[in-house]
A and B are shown apart, each in its own frame.
Chain A
Amino acid sequence: MKLTLNVWRQPASQAPGKLETYTLDGVSADMSFLEMFDLLNEQLTTEGKVPVAFAHDCREGICGSCSMMINGQAHGPWAGAATCQLHMRAFKDGDIITVEPWRASAFPIVKDLVVNRGSFDRIIQAGGYVSVNTGGARDANSILIGKDTVEEAMDAAACIGCGACVAACPNASASLFTGAKITHLGMLPQGQPERDTRALAMVEQMDIEGFGHCTLVGECQEACPKEISIDVIKKMNRDYLVASAKRQEPKAASAS
């Protein structure tokens, strides 16, 4: 099939960007969206132009690299799929497709479609872990965890850190991402000792990074390639409230 592509081109972080239009022929329905971009880049290179920079790696929906706003939808029209899993059979001959990078001030644009999602790492650094050093862990079967509990933890742990939730959210909130990690660890016995400090620190780090507040619009859940449920945000809010309340209590106690 033949397509018209409007692609965001921005040579560098600080440089101005704009949409450029390209026509591309010979696209097969079996191609993934990224393979279609490979074809475009091969064409641009032959024409002596600079190819489009886009992030990718695993090309099977698990590394969370690929990130494209396709016709206004994060990762494009297929539900529960990252851009690399989207196949061209989702489109038809003659379609016009607009492709832009994630837009959020906490994800500065690096070039063209590539943004820097380092802010996600810093949210994890704030407490998205169990503080356990290597060695000396007790036998794995001495911690019993019910099947349902572990399944629910796994649902949340499946987040690939792609940032689609942020890009889809009108407030550019990182709550689905952060809530997923807080829920994953909060469901498990191993995560309990640090549950309060984790919730406080991670939520506060979101603010520091410049992500917006969550108003439960729900766009994040729609855009998420791993279908993380918005319930994780409710869990996060609850943990945060509980932890904030506890944070105030000891202070009052020591004052008296």
Chain B
Amino acid sequence: MLDLNAKIPSGPLQEKWDQHRFSMKLVNPANKRRHSVIVVGAGLAGASAAATMSELGYKVSCFVYHDTPRRAHSIAAQGGINAAKNYQNDGDSIRRLFYDTIKGGDFRAREANVYRLAQLSVNIIDQCVAQGVPFAREYGGLLANRSFGGAQVSRTFYARGQTGQQLLLGAYSALERQVSLKGVEMHTFEEMLDVVVVDGHARGIVTRNLLTGKITSHAADAVVLATGGYGNVFYLSTNAMLSNTTATWRAYKKGAAFANPCYTQIHPTCIPVSGDHQSKLTLMSESLRNDGRVWVPIKRGDNREPSAIPEAERDYFLERKYPSFGNLAPRDISSRAAKEACDDGRGVGPGGLGVYLDFADAIKRLGKNTIAERYGNLFDMYQRITDENPYERPMRIYPAVHYTMGGLWVDYNLMSSIPGLHVAGEANFSDHGANRLGASALMQGLADGYFVLPYTIGDYIAGTKLAKVDNTHAEFKAAEESVRAQTKRFLDIKGKRSVDSFHKELGKIMWEYCGMARTKEGLTKALELIPALKAEFWSNLNVPGSGDNLNQALENAGRVADFIELGELMCRDALAREESCGGHFRVEYQDAGEAKRNDDDFAYVAAWEFAGEGNAPILNKEPLVYENVHLSTRSYK
């Protein structure tokens, strides 16, 4: 059993972070340059952490498999980032952002972490503006805000539909500045394939250079994983194609607990699948639901043109079911409502897997120009993909896998169950609970990277006696050997099936049995199908080419191998959680279609511990203690 001490500071909620900062040990400024930190990943979390730690004086090495840090998946975020600035004077506050996030997460997140996130949100916006992030402004020159799913106040800051891009470019430019000042050594085209643990502490990583195939290892005093989420386990998702679980999965196998793996966020507004060739799904930002109205025909199988269906024969199901939030109901709720309508035979478009997102009323009210100004680039994107004009015909949307709330377990300091291994951004499990509200992932990534890790890593370094270790240590050599052996094994199978075909098959199993609705029966079935798929993978995989140059099939083989194992763990986790909460909907546990939580038995974080190849993983539980909010039934009616 693991020791899952979350190290939450004592004292009142509002003062925990302050008190903790005061009690943390400091590293003498002159000594910082003697300490080295490895950061894997340069998305919002990694780039901001690497830049900030370098500014503080640490020797930082940063690794990405991309050709440049600016391409991290964070670049794709569209809608915006939340902050409790209350610039709109509409009643927002740190407390309200905290409460909305806890409630949005269906009371499965840690109070102290979420409160800190809400506090830091305010500084994030200041920091980004100082870097030159061109957030939208009002005519008077002040920052503009909009509202986003799950919130009744306007607290979302945005830069057109390219908020993630602009925030990442801000963090990337801070990072590049540190590279030029020689504070950060940047390693691009370098994929981390293992964590190295010496005397119980994370002391480095093993990487493979994607261009040369060279396997090397790197030692440091602390390691940060900021490697993003694992939504691609479903094959089709809104994630960038290269996003994967390898870094987190290999860390799990080295002793880092994996928390709440089954919590997957499904986003309600994506462009529906158009055919078997589909490689990924495109998100239509949730901000569209500020003006778009979601509906389906009342009659089953009504395949008239949308314009031919009169008002009286339309079901604006979100407005009907959730009158106070309407089209802005949170993602899990809206997604499930759309699925229900389609399962009921009222879906629209090819295969009946779609609902309308209609702008006709908004265009009538505000004019086409205003709508074009607000959402023009999204409309263009939609038209390019579907060949339909959303100004004239309602968009068709359908839910898709979007974000993973699970990830490596971390304590309040963002340290995993391996001392010295810290985890930030989407790669950790910490702040979101069973669901994530819109515009909160960007906030979390940047809070972790700019404002949490740089302090807590200092505390770890100052408070730990670390022996001198370099990459000639036996543990490094052993890790390198196992990475080499695995690479060779992929190339030696010489079977018949492509990596992609395995990935697609896994994705189908996951979506069918561990997707928007889960049952005991389905999950049990998946737990038979996945091991069989795994066995076939290891005997019938075909990876053409060699290991000593750029070989994308080989890279993918490693990622898919890890996805298969993670998929199995997700199903186990979903099976063990006999309740419904947020994005985890167990059909057996519901109350007239609404998720039915069971706080008596499941108000805990499920932290899975690797128990060796072939053994069932061990379930550890970190109880969630609520001292400041009342555990209520989540209602958006």
Inter-chain contacts of B474 with A (CB < 8 A): none
* Chain B residues numbered 132-147 whose CB sits less than 8 Å from any CB in chain A: 132, 134-143
Q: In whole angstroms, how far apart are the Cα atoms of A42 and B279 in the complex? A: 13
Inter-chain contacts of A56 with B (CB < 8 A): 241
* CB contact under 8 A between A57 and B127, given known A118-B188, A124-B176: no
**Residue from B76, B160, B500 in contact with A42 in the complex, judged by beta carbons closer than 8 Å:** B500
Q: Name the residue on B nearest A34 (C-beta).
A: B279
* Residue B458 at the chain A interface, CB threshold 8 Å: no
**Residue from A49, A118, A134, A143 in contact with B67 in the complex, judged by beta carbons closer than 8 Å:** A118
Would you give the shortest CB distance from B123 to chain A, in whole angstroms?
7
* Interface residue count on the B side (C-beta < 8 Å): 80
Q: In whole angstroms, how far apart are the Cα atoms of A30 and B143 in the complex? A: 39
Indicate if the CB atoms of A125 and B137 lie closer than 8 Å: no
* Residue A200 at the chain B interface, CB threshold 8 Å: no
Indicate if the CB atoms of A157 and B75 lie closer than 8 Å: no
Q: In whole angstroms, how far apart are the Cα atoms of A120 and B279 in the complex? A: 28
Inter-chain contacts of B550 with A (CB < 8 A): 53, 110-111, 114
Indicate if the CB atoms of B160 and A60 lie closer than 8 Å: no
Inter-chain contacts of A51 with B (CB < 8 A): 544-545, 552-553
Q: In whole angstroms, how far apart are the Cα atoms of A48 and B241 in the complex? A: 24
Indicate if the CB atoms of A63 and B76 lie closer than 8 Å: yes
**Residue from B73, B128, B131, B278 in contact with A57 in the complex, judged by beta carbons closer than 8 Å:** B73
* Residue A248 at the chain B interface, CB threshold 8 Å: no
Indicate if the CB atoms of A45 and B553 lie closer than 8 Å: yes
Inter-chain contacts of A44 with B (CB < 8 A): 544
Would you give the shortest CB distance from B472 to chain A, in whole angstroms?
29
Indicate if the CB atoms of A125 and B177 lie closer than 8 Å: yes
* Residue B2 at the chain A interface, CB threshold 8 Å: no
* Residue B70 at the chain A interface, CB threshold 8 Å: yes
Inter-chain contacts of A110 with B (CB < 8 A): 211, 550
Indicate if the CB atoms of B137 and A59 lie closer than 8 Å: no
Indicate if the CB atoms of B454 and A134 lie closer than 8 Å: yes
Inter-chain contacts of A39 with B (CB < 8 A): 277
* Chain A residues numbered 6-65 whose CB sits less than 8 Å from any CB in chain B: 11-12, 28, 30-32, 34-35, 38-39, 41-42, 44-46, 48-51, 53, 55-65
Indicate if the CB atoms of A58 and B143 lie closer than 8 Å: no
Q: Which of A31, A49, A141 has the most CB of B within 10 A?
A: A141
Inter-chain contacts of A91 with B (CB < 8 A): none
**Residue from B87, B274, B282, B544 in contact with A45 in the complex, judged by beta carbons closer than 8 Å:** B544
Inter-chain contacts of A96 with B (CB < 8 A): none
Indicate if the CB atoms of A55 and B67 lie closer than 8 Å: yes
Indicate if the CB atoms of B126 and A139 lie closer than 8 Å: yes
Q: In whole angstroms, how far apart are the Cα atoms of A190 and B125 in the complex? A: 14
Indicate if the CB atoms of B544 and A38 lie closer than 8 Å: no
* Residue A253 at the chain B interface, CB threshold 8 Å: no
Q: Name the residue on B nearest A117 (C-beta).
A: B67
* CB contact under 8 A between A146 and B139, given known A59-B241, A87-B384, A134-B451: yes
* Residue B280 at the chain A interface, CB threshold 8 Å: yes
Indicate if the CB atoms of B176 and A125 lie closer than 8 Å: yes
* Residue A255 at the chain B interface, CB threshold 8 Å: no
* Residue A215 at the chain B interface, CB threshold 8 Å: no
Interface bits B539-564 vs A (CB < 8 Å: 1, else 0): 00010110001111100000000000
Inter-chain contacts of B501 with A (CB < 8 A): 42
* Interface residue count on the A side (C-beta < 8 Å): 78
Indicate if the CB atoms of B141 and A49 lie closer than 8 Å: no
Q: In whole angstroms, how far apart are the Cα atoms of A51 and B499 in the complex? A: 12
Q: Name the residue on A nearest B186 (C-beta).
A: A121
Q: In whole angstroms, how far apart are the Cα atoms of A38 and B504 in the complex? A: 13
* Residue A140 at the chain B interface, CB threshold 8 Å: yes
* Chain B residues numbered 60-112 whose CB sits less than 8 Å from any CB in chain A: 66-71, 73, 75-76, 85, 87
Inter-chain contacts of A252 with B (CB < 8 A): none
Would you give the shortest CB distance from A205 to chain B, in whole angstroms?
10
Inter-chain contacts of A48 with B (CB < 8 A): 544
Inter-chain contacts of A35 with B (CB < 8 A): 277-279
* Chain B residues numbered 491-529 whose CB sits less than 8 Å from any CB in chain A: 498, 500-501
**Residue from A31, A130, A146 in contact with B131 in the complex, judged by beta carbons closer than 8 Å:** A130
Indicate if the CB atoms of B70 and A38 lie closer than 8 Å: no
Indicate if the CB atoms of B454 and A185 lie closer than 8 Å: no
**Residue from B51, B143, B279 in contact with A140 in the complex, judged by beta carbons closer than 8 Å:** B143
Q: In whole angstroms, how far apart are the Cα atoms of A134 and B545 in the complex? A: 45
Indicate if the CB atoms of A131 and B140 lie closer than 8 Å: no
Closest 7 CB pairs of A and B: A144-B141, A129-B173, A137-B130, A140-B129, A137-B126, A125-B180, A134-B52
18 contacts between A and B (CB under 8 A): A30-B277, A32-B385, A50-B545, A65-B66, A80-B380, A118-B68, A121-B70, A121-B179, A124-B176, A130-B131, A137-B123, A137-B126, A137-B130, A140-B130, A141-B142, A141-B143, A158-B160, A190-B130
Known: A81-B384, A154-B162. 17 other contacts (CB 8 A): A38-B279, A38-B500, A42-B500, A58-B71, A59-B279, A62-B76, A110-B211, A129-B174, A130-B131, A132-B131, A134-B51, A134-B55, A140-B143, A145-B141, A146-B139, A188-B134, A190-B130
A-side interface residues toward B, CB under 8 Å? 11-12, 28, 30-32, 34-35, 38-39, 41-42, 44-46, 48-51, 53, 55-65, 78, 80-81, 85, 87, 89, 110-111, 114, 116-118, 120-121, 124-126, 128-135, 137-141, 143-147, 150, 153-154, 157-158, 160-161, 184-185, 188, 190-191
